[in-house]
Amino acid sequence: MSETAMAENPQPEDDLLVDVRGVDKVFKRGSETVHVLGGLDLQIPRGEFLALMGPSGSGKSTLLNLVGGLDRPTEGSITVGGQRIDKLSDRKLAGWRANHVGLVFQFYNLMPVLSARRNVELPLLLTKLSAKERRKRAELALEIVGLSHRLGHYPRQMSGGEQQRTGIARAIVTDPTLLLCDEPTGDLDRKSGDEILDLLQALNREQGKTIIMVTHDQLAADRATRTLHLDKGRLVTGMQGQGTG
């Protein structure tokens, strides 16, 4: 139950980044109504690396999408960084995502027609930065993920691990408050997956990024500072991971 998550990690209000209260999410599938999330409460402090686990259909990706402003709850409120995002218009929500959220996808979701640098530069096109500044920042982000030597390469010319690192560079290039990773190692071999997890851990520890990661992989979850389990739309347990401290 959600109280578990709250009780185990009480946080002062100032340190609270994500505040999910009483969230329901209902989908209509034809005439059938599917309750994906039910009365969910979740608080995530700044600087946390949270892993969300659970069986397929448990609602973990839906929760991630709600916190990232990619979807809206049927009931309840979602506040991120003091901003009530479930009340924002589509236009404002798009702007909010551009400024505050970095997204990392299981299948990388890079633009095949763009080079690594241009892919990373993509979110910066929504800012007022000059072309020169955008280029500089994109190159810095790629340097952080260890891909300085792949700036001009296209996705098809890179390995899965490199593509995912490009995806992470794209997610951090705007210096967002929150990084949301949907099974970031799900499409990678163990070695590449470990490298991605090392990178996420470093971003969390060294740059203080708050990360929420959905995963099926216990080894990946162990890198997080906290792991929450969902089942049938409800939080059932919470545990500290090895990523703590």
24: β partners:
75
- Environment class of 56 (CB within 10 Å of its CB; exposed 0-12, middle 13-18, buried 19+): exposed
**160 near other proteins (CB under 8 A):** no
**82 near other proteins (CB under 8 A):** no
The answer for residues whose C-beta is within 8 angstroms of residue 80's C-beta and 6 or more apart is 17, 18, 19, 67, 69, 100, 177, 178
Segment 5-44, which members bind other proteins (CB under 8 A)?
A: none
Nearest CB to other proteins, comparing residues 104 and 223 = 104
Strand order in the sheet with 101-104: 101-104, 178-182, 210-214, 49-53, 226-231, 234-240
Q: Residue 4: in which H helix or E strand, if any?
A: helix 2-8
Q: How far is the CB of 63 from other proteins (least distance, A)?
A: 11
Nearest Cα to Cα of residue 154 among 139, 171, 166, 140: 166
Q: Residue 105: in which H helix or E strand, if any?
A: none
- Segment interacting with other proteins (CB under 8 A) among 42-50, 76-84, 103-111, 225-233: 103-111
**115 near other proteins (CB under 8 A):** no
**91 near other proteins (CB under 8 A):** yes
Neighbours of 85 (CB within 10 A): 23
Tokens of 45: 């402090």
Q: Which of 112, 132, 156, 208 binds other proteins (CB under 8 A)?
A: 112
- Segment interacting with other proteins (CB under 8 A) among 13-21, 68-76, 137-145, 150-158: 68-76
Q: How far is the CB of 3 from other proteins (least distance, A)?
A: 27
**165 near other proteins (CB under 8 A):** no
**99 near other proteins (CB under 8 A):** yes
Q: How far is the CB of 155 from other proteins (least distance, A)?
A: 11
Nearest CB to other proteins, comparing residues 49 and 108 = 108
**111 near other proteins (CB under 8 A):** yes
Report the Cα–Cα distance between both ends of the chain, in Å, rounded.
Answer: 26
**What residues make contact with other proteins under the rule CB under 8 A?**
61-62, 65, 68, 70-71, 90-91, 94-95, 97-99, 103, 105, 107, 109, 111-114, 122-123, 125-126, 128, 170
